[in-house]
Amino acid sequence: MKVTVVCEHNASMDSEEGKKAYPEGLGVCLKTMLEEAGHSVTLVRTDETGADALTDEIIDNTDVMFWWGHWYHLKVSDEIINKVADRALRGMGMVFLHSAHDSKMFKRLLGSSCSLKWREDGEQERLWCVDLTHPIARGLGEYVDIPHEEMYGEPFDIPTPDELVYIGWFRGGEVFRGGCVFKRGLGKLFYFNPGHETYPTYKLPAVRQLLCQACAYVAPQIPLKDKICCPHIDGFSVKD
Ligand code: ZN
């Protein structure tokens, strides 16, 4: 499967904690994880200049797109958001990680503010599985523990998920819908809250297994459809 990892680079990743968590880079960590699962992976680095490295050719050849961003969501152009959203609605799978809840892409597909409660304490998060039969949770037991993570809490302004797989619990008492699936058009997307850049969350075997299972779950089940709409609409076009 062709997987694209869109991963922002920010100054926090260059801090002592950031380099200690991911000496190779967080994006490279995700890329390697997916390659080990047998996928062909393209890593696209975004930064304060935007996401121009996410070219049409890459978008048009992606089966599943991972999206990690934090500081520079607003730098991603609307043109790129339109293209990725179009492909997602035609069946491309998407996995949104951590602060991607605040990305233009996630908000576009969900249609709400996606705001949440926040605290950066680096405390334990326990993700309780609320659907033990779900393919994303296969073989992972009743819960997944993250030793250190940023707290994301309810209320989380999202539409009711089509499938709720995990609810995160934090030592501060907060809870959070941290693992949920949404169906949009012919595509599926999965949101997973853990993954702040200064904690090595994506090195945890259980998290790697969960994300690889999420990748397989949101993958297109049928060939991607061309855009089809009423020909009277101004600007009507059908992709080649
Ligand atoms: Zn964070």
* pLDDT value, residue 14: 93
Q: What is the pTM of this model?
A: 0.95
Q: What's the gap in Å between 150 CA and the centre of ligand 1?
A: 6
The answer to whether 165 touches 217, Cβ cutoff 8 Å, is: no
- Distance (Å, rounded) from C-alpha 44 to C-alpha 68? 10
pLDDT tens per residue across span 173-232:
999 999 999 999 999 999 999 999 999 999 999 999 999 999 999 999 888 877 656 667
Residues facing 94 on adjacent strands: 65, 189
Tokens of 2: 């062709």
Q: What's the gap in Å between 52 CA and the centre of ligand 1?
A: 23
Ion ligand 1: residues, Cβ under 5 Å: 150, 196
Instruction: Specify the 3-state DSSP secondary structure of 161.
Output: coil
Q: Who contacts 133 (Cβ-Cβ below 8 Å, separation ≥6)?
A: none
Q: What's the gap in Å between 119 CA and the centre of ligand 1?
A: 9
Domains defined for the chain, CATH in brackets: 2-113+181-226 (3.40.50.880)
Q: What's the gap in Å between 100 CA and the centre of ligand 1?
A: 10
Q: Of 92, 96, 109, which is closest to residue 220 (Cα–Cα)?
A: 92
Q: What's the gap in Å between 229 CA and the centre of ligand 1?
A: 39
Residues facing 78 on adjacent strands: none
Residue with the two structure tokens 């999206």: 67
Q: What's the gap in Å between 76 CA and the centre of ligand 1?
A: 18
Q: Of 231, 230, 227, which is closest to residue 239 (Cα–Cα)?
A: 227
- Distance (Å, rounded) from C-alpha 73 to C-alpha 138? 32
